[in-house]
Structure 1
Amino acid sequence: MFLRRRQSQNLQENCSEEREAKVKELRAALGPLSGRNLKFCTDACLRRYLEARNWNVNKARKMLEETLKWRSAYKPEEIRWNEVAHEGETGKVSRANFHDLFGRTVLIMRPGKQNTSSGEGNVKHLVYLLENSILNLAEGQEQMSWLIDFTGWTMNTNITIKTIREIVYVLQNHYPERLAISILYNPPKFFESIWKVIKYFLDPKTAEKVKFVYTDDKNSVEFMKSLFDVENLPSEFGGKATLNYDHEEFSRLMAQDDVKTAKFWGFDEKPFQITKSRSQAEVALSSPAL
């Protein structure tokens, strides 16, 4: 038994050494980097791209180079809340103020709160919140969790397949290995046909991270308890907390984070001043503060 344990340990060490060698090989293949590209391409980043391409250095290099081109053109780190705040007025996507039991940032999505038909606006809003969620990951944590509440969702509130494809493309190609799990909570029966279409665009590894959870299913209840503290979890997802979305308060939080983002990327930026909005909408700021 001792010999088997020792052999297993040696295999793990050899695998770790091989993977670190691939990280160095990928960095060399990328060539000299500077500015934002250098800051983006940490060893952890390179590992995520290698993992996404099954540790094939050439494929990971190609994927990462495409991301660097996309970031250079799209400039996701320069998007500020005031540019996308109108998309978030109903709280259709927001960052929760609690982590899951693994310390991962949680994004709450409520497709029933869809408030615009702009594909470009929806993608930009989500990209902003992805960047914000990454900024707020706990130390040593690389991934985030998504909670998707289908309350009030109908075919009339759905975004287009074209927009869904764009979101899937951006997530899979430019944020690889950032999603730990995506929980679809109480999706209606007719969502199954839509899921078949969405799944067609998903990488099999990404599709495996999507879990269907139902209130009246005992296994689902236990599954949620294995991932979240029920005291922090909103009642919409089987927890004991209250999900109150306050758009004005969430805007203040995002404005503060915009300053952190600017500092992280080396920008000199002053806080964006939030003015009192005329209307109150709902935001995921219900549980204990981060």
Structure 2
Amino acid sequence: MEVIWFAVFTALLAGYFALEGFDLGVGLLLPVLGRTRENRDRMVAAMAPYVLANEVWLVAVAGTMFGVYPLLEGEVLFGLYPLVVAMLLCWVLRDAGLWFRRRLDGPAWRGFWDAAIAFGSLGLSVGWGMALYAAATGFGSPPVHPLGLLLGVVVTLLLAFHGWTFLGWRTPGRFGVTRSGRVLLASGIVAALPALGVLGGAMPYLLEHSAPAATLNVLSVMVLPVAPIMLGAQVWVWRTFRPGKDAYRLPSFF
């Protein structure tokens, strides 16, 4: 049962980086590709239908970690408390930018919230790299470490590339690139590689520090039957808003 839950946790974390990763990547690219108001609106509109569905993966990752690896919860919250708080604030800032950017009109209002989206996406991307480095070192290093910052830069670049690939799939040719669904899948796997690498190295530790078998059995009965619903909803979103559908004509996030 420990191996099954490790596989579930790995799939959830990889799914978060592969799916929410392109949302963060598009946010990172707003100052680069969104030189005009129309382009920024199109970039946000491209990812808008996927944002809420993709964020569910992070909730699932947190719930699984706290349920399956209860000892890890204390290490994460204690050792990475400032980083976790900073990442939560960046998450709130990014989502606030998505929701509020069209509540009023005017270049100053739009510019402020577009900057909030970009800054929040940057903070989350760098923060994830630092968190992965801390996890790889057994949470023995301080949250701010040169190698952690370097990994944060790597994660940021990977997510930006993934976001660019997503734009090439969702809005073919508009931002200088056209990509197929297979290429988008490949870039999603590449975006998840840092997380997969850390989990691969931490596999013996996680298996050893899993929750008791009785707890895992209860979690299996309560959680695993819901998994098909989560996956089915994700498939529905992707089929409904795939390229060629009229929904992407919306100028912004609503």
Structure whose alpha-carbon radius of gyration is higher: 1
Question: As a proportion of its length, which structure holds more helix?
Answer: 2
Question: As a proportion of its length, which structure holds more strand?
Answer: 1
